[in-house]
Amino acid sequence: GMKARMRSSANPPAIGLGIEDVDAADTPPRPQVMEVHDETQVNLQRGVHPLTVVIATSKMLRDDPSLTQRIATMVNTAYGRHRMSGSEVEHRASTGDWGRLANRVLHLAFREEFLVGCCSSTIQPPFTCPGWGHWGLLAVDEAAQGTGVASALVKAAETRLRWAGCVAIQIEYHYIAGDQRSERLRAWYEGKLGFCCVCGADFRMCYKLVCPPHCCFTLPPSFLYCCCCI
């Protein structure tokens, strides 16, 4: 008789693990990106898709109930400690409801619907000189680091401060001499971004002068005008 043909069944497609946000701030960090097999999500965070930076508002948190915890988790993971709670996220987002009247806001960076970074900017903090803006709370999702997220967030923050009329911008950061990560941050802050350290060894306070878009440099020097034009 005829031999029955043996048909080997094809292996079922592998189901990859998507990049999921952890549920609590004290949950251990997610696995490294090489363990994630969802190509779409990996590409989103690696920079294949366009990056969008917006200012957080209460409406955004209402429209996406998971966003509050995603922001807190990303910040706490980036800082390696409990840096921000859900209620703090909600408070910072509520300040964005004031639009152009807001003093401190929270900038959020997205690729598609995926949150990849955040940064705060304040037009006039209580601890800086008059006319000196400030940005901080810079955090980037581990999988998206090195894809231009931090640069885009800083650009958005500094553009906002310049258009608000700030004549200088102040930042602070922790520094450990000889530590590879600290040295890389110092080279970026005080090198590429152009900040100058005025005090501090382990905790460095830095500033740089900026020129507001409508600085009237033809008028006589005044504290109200841009420091670069005096």
Mean per-residue pLDDT for 83-89? 97
pLDDT-above-70 percentage for the chain? 71
- At 200, the pLDDT band (50, 70, 90 cuts) reads confident
Mean per-residue pLDDT for 99-104? 95
pLDDT-above-90 percentage for the chain? 65
Long-range contacts from 174-181, C-beta under 8 angstroms, 24+ separation: 174/202, 174/203, 174/204, 175/200, 175/201, 175/202, 175/203, 175/204, 176/202, 177/201
- The model's pLDDT over 130-143, given as tens digits with 9 standing for 90+, comes to 999 999 999 999 99
Q: Residue 54 contacts by C-beta under 8 Å, 6 or more apart in sequence? A: 60, 107, 108, 110
Mean per-residue pLDDT for 151-173? 96
The C-alpha atoms of residue 141 and residue 109 are separated, in whole angstroms, by 10
pTM for this model (two decimals): 0.74
Using the predicted structure, report yes or no on whether residue 25 has a pLDDT greater than 90: no
**Strand stretches in the chain, DSSP E:** 52-55, 104-111, 114-122, 132-140, 168-174, 196-199, 203-209
The C-alpha atoms of residue 207 and residue 205 are separated, in whole angstroms, by 7
Using the predicted structure, report yes or no on whether residue 183 has a pLDDT greater than 60: yes
Distances (CA, A) of 78 to 74, 81, 118: 6, 8, 11
Helix%, strand%, coil% for the chain, nearest 5: 35, 20, 45
Q: What integer pLDDT is reported at residue 157 of this predicted model?
A: 98
- Pick 44 or 17 by higher pLDDT: 44
- Pick 21 or 214 by higher pLDDT: 214
Q: Tell me, what amino acid is at 57?
A: T
